[in-house]
Chain A
Amino acid sequence: MVSKGEIERDVVVIGGGPAGLAAAISAKEAGAKKVLLVERDKRLGGILNQCIHDGFGLHWFKEALSGPEYAHRFIEKADQVGVEVMLSSMVMAMEPDLRIQLSSKEGLLSVKAKAIVLAMGCRERTQGAIMLPGTRPAGIYTAGAAQNLINLQNIMVGKKAVIMGSGDIGLIMARRLTLEGCEVVGVYEILPYPSGLPRNIQQCLVDYAIPLHLSNTVIELHGQNRLRGVTVAQVDEMRQPIKGTERFVECDTLLLSVGLIPENELSRSAGVVLDPVSGGPVVDDTYQTSMEGIFSCGNVLHVHDLVDHVSEEAERAGRFAARLATGEQRPAREFIPIRPANGVRYCLPQRVSGGGDFILSLRVISPVRDKRIVVRDQTGKRLVSKTYFRLHPAVMIRIPVKAEKLAKVKVLEVEVTE
């Protein structure tokens, strides 16, 4: 029932970044009439607006585009197909009956949806969350926040930087800072291998002779007012600092690239069940969450490394959201749970209906070579078996699975084997 002062939409997409854009376009193309895209920023594009480096769209467009270029194509398409957009509008609450509460300069608005697609993206792990010891000076930024300030606001954050974490954002920022005249003293990665894509190691560190220190981490901050340096140390297999390896590194800026966390506050408060490992909602092969009518895609579902995959995933989620919104009934089926097993950190969707083909996304726990990814059922029979020359946690693996293989399947397990 629609209350007074409330508007109705078929599909509401929360977040106008790459996931939201692709989902909204796909929902329209799949037949949903009133598709509303809600974005808190004053422009669409989400995180892509600040990702001015290239490498986006190699799969989707077969071109190497920068973030804004990639976003632009979807923004144009969204406009063409008639997606309704509300900018500078923040979703304050989402209710299980598919109502969302928006806040904007125009006031408070309640929107009743037939289907919702969650595409809120993620936030960065903070200095507080990693409990970095020492003082509290100015000069410490998460890499994404620094990227925003530099690329969108023309603000330089410092003159001499240490980067904590070798995730892609940290690597990209290492290059950016160097080109803009901020000396990057080094990148310190706590794991024994880099967290970001190998080609970013090449293009961002090797090209500029920026040292990468593996099995090293920042253990203390110094400086009362502005950062004046950090203490770094080597770590052991338990990631604990090794006594005697501590050294002081002078710097005035520390960039943290220590992980992304899917931003599921709205999901959580509405009662959506989350997977503690992926950080996002538990979904089925239509990307529907544990709550009927609420779908999820993109970084809010699980952190991606390639925007092309985000678009693929979102395109699917949007399509199924539209089908639900337009009243298409899904045949009731028993869900087949899919569980990560040996060597697999998580896999998604966590359950499938068996009624359609789907794409299995997964990440491995540690870097390995010459291994197989195997999907087997409860009898041990292998439904899928693919060899990989190289498997790395930083690179999401995506494997298409055909529905016909799921005929007698009750449970699926995914593992890394020889």
Chain B
Amino acid sequence: MKGKKGIKDTETARLLFALSSLGELIQDAISAGEVRESVRSSLYRIMGAMPTSRGAVFTLEENGILTPIASKGVTAHLRKDIRLDPSSIAKLSKIKNTIIGERKGQPIFAWARGSGLVEDGGEILIPLQAKGRLIGLLIVGRKFGGEVYTKRDRELLTAMAHSLAVNLYNYRLFQELVRTNEELRKKIDENRRLYENLEGIYHDTIKALAAAIDAKDPWTKGHSDRVARISVAIAREMKLPEEDVRAIHIASHLHDIGKIVTETNILTKKGKLTPEEYEEIKRHPVTSYEILSKIRFPYPDVALLTRHHHEWVNGSGYPDGLKREDLPLGSRIIAVADAFDAMISDRPYRSALPLEKTLRNFLDYARRQFDPEISAVLMRILKKELNGEIPSPDIVPLLKDNFDPCYIVDFLDKIIETLLNN
């Protein structure tokens, strides 16, 4: 009797040890740690509680592949993906809360033998289910020492497998989240590329339209493109929001679109314009506005920016005679860029001005015609480009004048100081 009591005590102690392992297993399932590591720990806990030296946990993918998540002591075959045929999956899915494998007469065991799972170390196979679906498989090897699994062992294994299934379900959710995130990131990237392509096509169309306007007057060929380059360089140097930079880019390309209705002979006239001819020229910003305000641009105020590109900051410009504080920043930028390009380019009635003269004009006309701060930004960009601080210069390549860069850089310093201090 004494001996029997001893055995019973050992069994109770073993049950308590296994229950303590089950408690730790549940902790694994609800802990916020790394999910794969948690599945691995759960497998080790089950193996230590039985105890057995062989075990593996698989997740069942949608395509019927069993992928090992954790394994210990098993042969290489069980450390690789195993394809299950649909009928095997169907058989496994029907088994609820049942340990299979230890009774070799079971039909499912015959299948397992064929799969290689049993031959490679599995003594017991336990389908892992969550939310009524088969999500994986636990394989446990024979007990260390060769004892048979008792009824109590199987009950414990079933309970442990439930916790492991929760853990595995967490792992699958996490993997799904990673996959969804990755897919979402790919879609966002794809969308961004499409958007960039679309934007590229859009800008090319705008450029083509601007080139068509410029072509009406051989003297202003390429003018819109150059004004756009200078305007964008200023806007970027001022660190304006990207949306505003794009609006300025489009508006500067199209600022002269109103000239499409101006008589060509007026645009190309070499002599002095009559007051009527000048009045017709002066109509082009409003015409630009009227044309462009009917178009929906993806950026704000494009039409308005073109309307005011001939305004002066002292209010003596056209068409509305607005002063600096009432003028959009983009219009003031385009006004500076437009005037700068006009000065450095040949015109029917004069040759391109020397750079020094152009810069001096900005100094003279700042606060009357040009915004001094924006003019100073243009000068700063020129200085940076001449000093080689900008790898892809926008403005210096447009200059045709032979000038002394050292002298111009010094001169630019003085101009910037005067523009900002007066």
> Do A and B originate from a single complex?
no
Which residues from chain B sit less than 8 Å from chain A, CB to CB? none
